[in-house]
Amino acid sequence: MKNFITRLAATAVAVVSLTAAAQAFDPGATECIAPANPGGGWDFTCRQVGKTLQDLKLVPGTMQVTNMAGGGGGVAYAEVINKRNDANNLIIAASSATSTRLAQGAYPGNTMDQVRWVASVGADYGIIAVAKDSAINTLPELMEMIKADPSSVSIAGGSAVGGWDHLKVLMAAKKAGIEDVRTIKYVAFDGGGEAVTQLLGGSVQAFTGDASEAKGFVDSGDIKVLAVLAPERLEGDFASFPTAKEQGIDVIGANWRGFYAPGGSSDEAYDYWVNAIGTVYDSAEWKDIMAQNGLAPLNLRGADFQAFVADSVASITDISKEIGLIH
Amino acid sequence: MDTLSALADGFSIALTFQNLGLALIGCFLGTIIGALPGLGPSNGVAILIPLAFTLGLPATPALILLTSVYYGAMYGGRISSILLNIPGDEPALMTTLDGYPMARKGMAGEALALSGIASFVGAFFATWGLVFLAPQLVKVALLFGPAEYFALFALAFATLGGIASKNQAKAALAAGLGLGIAMIGVDGQTGVPRFTFGEVHLYDGIDFLVAIVGLFALSEVFIFLEHRGTTKATGDASGIKLGRLTPPLSMLKQTAPTMARSTVLGFIAGVLPGAGASLGSFISYSVEKRLVDKNNTFGTGDPRGVAAPEAGNNAAAGGALVPMLALGVPGSGTTAVLLAMLLALNITPGPLLFTNNPDVVWGLIAALFIGNVMLLVMNIPMVSLFVRVLLVPPRYLMPAVAMISFVGIYGISGSTFDLMVMVFFGLLGWILRKLDVPLVPIILGVLLGNQMEANMRRAMTISDGDWSALFASPLSIGLWLFAFFGFILPIVAGRFFRPKFPRTDSEADPD
Amino acid sequence: MSDRIMGGVGLLLAAFFIWQATLIQESFISDPVGPKIFPIIIGGLVGLSSLAIFLKPDDEPEWPDFSRLFEVGLTVAVMVAYAYALPSAGFVVSTAVAAGYLSWRLGTPPVKAAVAGAVIAIGIYVVFHLILGLSLARGPWGF
């Protein structure tokens, strides 16, 4: 019954605003698509931002989170372009994994300018880790082992082959002087959680992922972080772990987190979302969440963010070509 | 004793009027959601998350509500399995095999009550397992690498031969069809689309709920349509006997060892991430059939065939909470949703959850005990209500079942395409049933196909393409041997040694 | 005969499946097994079991006569139409029509069937939408 009344009210409001041609944009029932199963980074982005939007009363009611897993985000990307292109109440979580796949043409037939890039909410730096009782203690040691015998080290990650988690290892290996990086053994799991579990179980020797994915296991001391792929040491819990750069392997793997909106959404809707996400980013609540989850600052909105994603796609295209992933 | 005092604290958190009320609502809604075809525990929990947020519930009450729904749905799935031969959700699949024949024999009341008790036993002991064994069980989960998972799934398929129809080739065909359906969609390992024919709706694959509802519920409608005017369609309702509403003591005695074994097996299957409740009920049923089915009564309404999958799947539901809480890795679709809920409440599951958020964990565990008792108390008197469904004439009941199936699917996905796929499966299910092809292996294939392939390929990546890696660890060798000697060899040997006996009396257990 | 036809269809299906599997585009970098092998193994399984069914068919099942087959076919058509009508006609109306049709075909007198259809549609609407809060198709009248 309650739903019926709300709907009636919503209809009434819609009719009134149409006749009055009201300017204020009302997103209505807001929705965030997390293009992966619950528990991963995209899901985290949707849920935390959704909750903050709700707490700050920037959206009416609850933001609904829809998990739409598949194709490394490609299913959601295609769904948005093909079926929900003019939805104004919708944002979709994205990250470096999205731009990686776009750069490699892994969303068949889709490009980055088919959607509108809204804003970033921070960056999650990559880590490379081993189990706590592993004999390996530094990133160069790991790289030497791979150089000596590539088949002796299996590296687990949460993305598909060629995805962002895989690419970070390849970039580091390239910098460490490994010529044919294709010999490196990468095992794709369904998300970072499963990959860490396999590291603890001893099926694989190393783990590549994001700082936030591994936090619970770093705190408990179950895994040993060999290197953080950041320009300088992170703050908080990860401060004691060296960067790859310190160890002479100059590689940075910043997994930005942010949102895009459907390509056909109206300008009012786009501005609304840019402002809403921007307000979230500036809030004290969000600063806390960033600190708790090992997110580093990255503050880009609207046109700046659009340009940033374009750059990022271009540079990943270059890296992928250089490494020999695409031609 | 620390554990017990922590549990007592948990009870003091959970035992408030508000929380008990939430548990009651959750159990009730969960039972209904479980019983409705097309809605299972995972989307039941997902549907009610907005409710928890709307009510502005803090972490513990929200979790109590949602886990009550979870356990309630695990109880509810059996109702439509037994009464209508339509599994209410995927873990209740195996309950159709003996539950529906029992109902046909006029023992619907006993079947419902017995399965309620079996569900209680499974869930109750699994919750104790969660209390005392969680840290140790995490180590068991860690023993399973890709090769071991592959062996486990192979074992599941090997057991099919034992449970399926008289014609093994048809069971194999059904399993192959299911596995083939699972292959549709984007390959999780490399991200390339397979068998999608450029259709974007197929990128995500075919949802197993769409397959289950089509194959079981819609095909049932077609069967009634075919037999309209004959005794099957009209004579049933008047001649139906509801039977007793409580199982006789002798039946409980007979099924007690079955419940005990199935609880253990189901619990272990639940603890393994990626196996889950369906595998729990499946393995429980087929192992039990192998062990005790001396007179080949399984599949014809044997009470043990009802107790085994229900104890198994409810134990698995409890087991699946172990990796979710202790590792942050969901062991089933439902725990994935619960995990998301925890994350949204800013609680990070993982090795430190028990230390960092003891109030949440122990409150949750206490809520599981409360919900479980509540469900038992609620379900036994409700048996008399449920069996009355059988008194509804099929000409009213079947249209309602068909429409509920459509709504269950449409309400979740909002996709006309899914409905078309479901109608296709309905027609396919009808034809296959006419041809005596079992439907259970198809669902098993759809459920396990992707995991089976992914783990095989992971194992191959780790071993550089050396196939012997699939048989390298003691655990995987054990699983393979169990599959071979327990299930494959008896079938082959039975064929070989007694090829000339007529089918009816040659099926006795070779042991 | 039916089993032989099914075996034949199964063999064709297996051949088609394996052929499609060989057409899967390999991605630029792959695991040692790749995306093709497992589907090909499954195709082999389907093919072998179909062959076995073809060579050793069971007894003939009892097929309904033509009028009943037509009836099943017509019901499938109604279900397909229902799926298409949902988004445009709304949930309650299309469900009442479809459920009424099914009830009629299962042997209810027409007037009673229409009432049954309406009751089923409204009952489902109450349980699924008003109690469980699922979003059902809205249609022009909002229900």
For B245-278, write each residue's pLDDT tens digit: 778 888 888 899 999 999 999 998 888 876 677 8
Task: Write the single-letter amino acid at A108.
Answer: P
**Torsion, Cα of B419, B420, B425, B428 (10° steps):** 150
The set of residues, in sequence order, having a beta carbon less than 8 Å from that of B327 and lying 6+ positions away, is: A193, A197, B138, B141, B273, B349, B350, B351
* Cβ neighbours of C134 in B, within 8 Å: 47, 407, 411-412
Task: Write the single-letter amino acid at A114.
Answer: Q
- In a shared domain, residues A118 and A192: no
Q: Do C75 and B225 touch (CB under 8 A)?
A: yes
Residues of C engaging A, defined by a Cβ cutoff of 8 Å: 27-31, 129-130, 133, 142
Instruction: Give the confidence band of C81 by pLDDT, cuts at 50, 70, 90.
Output: very high
* Cβ neighbours of C131 in B, within 8 Å: 29
Q: Is residue A13 part of a domain?
A: no
Task: Return d(Cα A50, Cα A31) in angstroms, integer.
Answer: 9
Q: Is the pLDDT of residue C13 over 50?
A: yes
Q: Which residues pair with A224 in a beta bridge?
A: A130
Write the DSSP assignment of B81-96 as a string of letters: HHHHS--SSGGGTTHH
Tens digit of each residue's pLDDT (9 = 90 or more) over B333-366: 778 778 777 766 767 777 778 777 888 888 888 8
Instruction: Give the confidence band of C46 by pLDDT, cuts at 50, 70, 90.
Output: very high
- In a shared domain, residues A149 and A115: no
Q: Do B420 and C64 touch (CB under 8 A)?
A: no
Task: Return d(Cα C16, Cα C37) in angstroms, integer.
Answer: 15
Q: Is residue A196 part of a domain?
A: yes
Q: Do A161 and C142 touch (CB under 8 A)?
A: no
* Cβ neighbours of C43 in B, within 8 Å: 180
* Cβ neighbours of B50 in C, within 8 Å: 133
Whole-number pLDDT of residue C28: 62
Q: Do A161 and C29 touch (CB under 8 A)?
A: yes
A29 touches chain B (CB under 8 A): no
Distance of CA B279 to the CA centre of its chain: 7
- The DSSP bridge pattern shows strands A31-34 and A115-131 to be unpaired
Tally the C-alpha atoms within 13 A of residue A212's C-alpha that lie toward its C-beta: 26
Tokens at residue C84, please?
Answer: 């298409």
Tokens at residue B166, please?
Answer: 């008289």
Whole-number pLDDT of residue A40: 64
Last residue of a domain, one of A254, A285, A313: A254
Q: Do A163 and B203 touch (CB under 8 A)?
A: no
Contact in structure between B122 and B266 (CB atoms under 8 Å) = yes
A132 touches chain C (CB under 8 A): no
B391 C-beta neighbours (distance < 10 Å), count:
12
Last residue of a domain, one of A225, A254, A283: A254
Tens digit of each residue's pLDDT (9 = 90 or more) over B415-456: 788 899 999 999 999 999 999 898 888 988 988 888 899 999
Q: Identify which of B19, B35, B146 has the alpha carbon closest to the alpha carbon of residue B383.
A: B35
Overall number of domains in chain A: 2
- In a shared domain, residues A175 and A216: yes
* Cβ neighbours of A162 in C, within 8 Å: 27-29
Give me the CATH number covering residue A106.
3.40.190.150
What's A301's DSSP letter? B
Distance of CA C74 to the CA centre of its chain: 14
Task: Write the single-letter amino acid at B235.
Answer: G
Whole-number pLDDT of residue B274: 64
Nearest CA to CA, how far is B299 from chain A (Å)? 36
Task: Return d(Cα A290, Cα B155) in angstroms, integer.
Answer: 45
Q: Is the pLDDT of residue B108 over 80?
A: yes
B424 C-beta neighbours (distance < 10 Å), count:
17
B369 touches chain A (CB under 8 A): no
Q: Do A154 and B462 touch (CB under 8 A)?
A: yes
Q: Is the pLDDT of residue A5 over 70?
A: no
Q: What is the average per-residue pLDDT within A20-32?
A: 63
Give me the CATH number covering residue A145.
3.40.190.10
Which chains, if any, share at least 3 CB pairs under 8 A with chain A? Answer: B, C
Structural domain containing residue A217: 125-254
Q: Identify which of B218, A310, B353 has the alpha carbon closest to the alpha carbon of residue B339.
A: B353
DSSP H helical segments within A176-266, as ranges? 192-201, 211-219
Contact in structure between A77 and A110 (CB atoms under 8 Å) = yes
Q: Is residue A248 part of a domain?
A: yes
Whole-number pLDDT of residue A37: 65
Phi, then psi, of A8 in degrees rounded to 5: -55, -45
Instruction: Give the confidence band of A297 by pLDDT, cuts at 50, 70, 90.
Output: confident
* Cβ neighbours of B191 in C, within 8 Å: 27
Contact in structure between A96 and A164 (CB atoms under 8 Å) = yes
Which of A74, A75, A216 is nearest residue B328 as measured by Cβ atoms?
A216
Write the DSSP assignment of B290-337 as a string of letters: HHH-TTS-TTS--HHHHHHHHHHHHHHHHHTHHHHHHHS--SSHHHHH
Q: Do B406 and C95 touch (CB under 8 A)?
A: yes
Nearest CA to CA, how far is A217 from chain B (Å)? 7
How many percent of chain B have pLDDT more than 90? 21
Task: Write the single-letter amino acid at B307.
Answer: A
- In a shared domain, residues A68 and A139: no
Closest B-chain CA to C45: B176
C110 C-beta neighbours (distance < 10 Å), count:
10
Tens digit of each residue's pLDDT (9 = 90 or more) over B83-99: 888 887 788 888 999 99
Task: Look at B135 and B267; give whichever has higher pLDDT.
Answer: B267
Q: What is the average per-residue pLDDT within B143-165?
A: 82
Q: Is residue A8 part of a domain?
A: no
Q: Is A126 in a helix, a strand, or coil?
A: strand
Tens digit of each residue's pLDDT (9 = 90 or more) over A123-152: 888 999 999 999 999 999 999 999 999 889
Nearest CA to CA, how far is C35 from chain B (Å)? 7
Q: Is the pLDDT of residue A19 over 50?
A: no
Q: Indicate the angle between helix axes C2-22 and B168-183, nearest 10 degrees.
A: 30
A12 touches chain C (CB under 8 A): no
Task: Return d(Cα A129, Cα C129) in angstroms, integer.
Answer: 48
- In a shared domain, residues A135 and A246: yes
- In a shared domain, residues A287 and A244: no
Q: Is residue A2 part of a domain?
A: no
Nearest CA to CA, how far is C123 from chain A (Å)? 14
Task: Return d(Cα C18, Cα A296) in angstroms, integer.
Answer: 48
Element (H, E) at B258: helix B249-271
* Cβ neighbours of A3 in C, within 8 Å: 129-130, 133
Q: Do C28 and A7 touch (CB under 8 A)?
A: no
Contact in structure between A55 and A84 (CB atoms under 8 Å) = no
Mean pLDDT in chain A?
83
Work out the end-to-end distance of chain C between its first and last CA atoms, rounded to an integer number of angstroms: 49
Task: Return d(Cα A310, Cα A98) in angstroms, integer.
Answer: 12
Q: Is the pLDDT of residue B50 over 80?
A: no
- In a shared domain, residues A38 and A90: yes
Whole-number pLDDT of residue B275: 64
What's A233's DSSP letter? P
Q: How many CB pairs under 8 A join B and C?
A: 195
Tokens at residue A233, please?
Answer: 């040491």
Last residue of a domain, one of A254, A273, A295: A254
Mean pLDDT in chain C?
88
- In a shared domain, residues A83 and A202: no
Nearest CA to CA, how far is C130 from chain B (Å)? 12
- In a shared domain, residues A195 and A102: no
Whole-number pLDDT of residue B261: 93
- In a shared domain, residues A129 and A112: no
Q: Do B462 and A185 touch (CB under 8 A)?
A: yes
Mean pLDDT in chain B?
83
Find which of B49, B143, B144, B348 to mutate to test the A interface (most A CBs within 10 Å of its CB): B348
Task: Look at C30 and A87; give whichever has higher pLDDT.
Answer: A87
pTM of this prediction?
0.82
* Cβ neighbours of C98 in B, within 8 Å: 399, 402-403
Q: Which of residues 60-119 of C touch B (CB under 8 A)?
A: 61, 63-64, 68, 71-72, 75-76, 79-80, 82-84, 86-87, 91, 95, 98-100, 102-103, 105-108, 116-117
- In a shared domain, residues A103 and A54: yes
Widest distance between CA atoms in chain C: 64
- In a shared domain, residues A286 and A205: no
Which of A3, A4, A161 is nearest residue C27 as measured by Cβ atoms?
A161
